[in-house]
Amino acid sequence: MLDSGGKRWRPVLGLMFAEAYGRDVRESIESGDFERNNDVLYAAALTEIIHNGSLIADDLEDKSLMRRGKPCTYITYGEDYAVNSATLMYIAPIIQMKQFIHDKDKQQAFQDIYQEEMFNIHFGQNWDIHWHNGKKMPTEKQYMHCVINKTSVLPRLCARLIGVILELSEEETRAIVQYTVSLGAAFQIQDDLICITSAEYAKERGSLGEDIHEGKRTLMVLNTYDPANKNVSLAEKDRLLEILDMGTNDDELILEAIAIMRKSGSIDYATQKSKQLLQDAWSGLQPVLPDGNTKK
């Protein structure tokens, strides 16, 4: 799973924060001198390993077919391997912590942050599972809470660990954490948009509209079904939910669901929501970045 690629924006973001606050991360990586930044690199790697473990578990829970252009782990190796490997990838990185973090106070802070955020990511995932398996329709506010306790967790984890390593002030840590919260939410919305609009994504995941097959209650679904949305009829809203609850792989049905969401204006709504989250996040981060780093 780790060798298969991925966006890796979460650890990269952590390295960018470290560099913005004075660590020569790029130089040490390019020179091969990892030792002087091994604490920062450890935090970044920990985040990516956990993320890949969560993908193995998520694919099994959602009964996805492909990940990064290849059959999902549970399909290739079996469900028992998938469950065990995902669990191992949650535990292994924190077991190695003392090799990279030597200060005992920082070790304790790492443990506390790790436990909190691992709780959050599973709690958020449980909401998502409950909504699409239980066929429940959350509000937009509930959806955003779910995303913040799911997609935003790992970049937030990385930011909090980097804050401990660099001994940032409460204000600085709060700002970079809030940035990751908004960025994670924007990323989830954008990822859901790509799922129903990108042919390249469909090729990597084995089908177009995988979220529709899985019955996911995305922001586009919530906005379409909103009583205030008058762009589509109640019959069309009910039809969208009917298709979502089928668990269908039928391309015609999936395209019908996408057409309803497009007609409702929810795709445009979600696009603007994602952009606004990014703008708000950047505005909040700028005042606490060190001088000279705001343009980075």
Residue 293 within a domain: no
Query: Is 95 exposed, middle or buried, given 0-12, 13-18 or 19+ CB atoms closer than 10 A?
Result: exposed
CATH of the domain at 182: 1.10.600.10
Q: Quick check: 13 and 159 in contact, CB under 8 A?
A: yes
Residue 296 within a domain: no
* Domain count of the fold of the chain: 1
pLDDT value at position 291?
67
Residues spanned by the domain of 271: 2-288
Residue 30 within a domain: yes
Q: What is the DSSP string of 100-149?
A: T---HHHHHHHHHHHHHHHHHHHHHHHHHHHHHHTT----HHHHHHHHHT
pLDDT value at position 296?
42
Residue 137 within a domain: yes
Residue 207 within a domain: yes
Query: CA-to-CA distance for 266 and 223, rounded, in angstroms?
Result: 6
Residue 295 within a domain: no
CA distances to 91, 198, 289 from 190, rounded to whole Å, are 30, 11, 26
CA angle 195–262–183, rounded 5-degree value: 50
Residue 19 within a domain: yes
pLDDT tens for the chain, residues 1 to 296: 888 888 899 999 999 999 999 999 999 989 999 899 999 999 999 999 999 999 999 999 988 888 888 899 999 999 999 999 999 999 999 999 999 999 999 999 999 999 999 999 999 999 998 988 876 789 999 999 999 999 999 999 999 999 999 999 999 999 999 999 999 999 999 999 998 988 777 666 666 788 898 889 999 999 999 999 999 999 999 999 999 999 888 989 999 999 999 999 999 999 999 999 988 888 877 777 786 554 44
Query: CA-to-CA distance for 215 and 228, rounded, in angstroms?
Result: 22
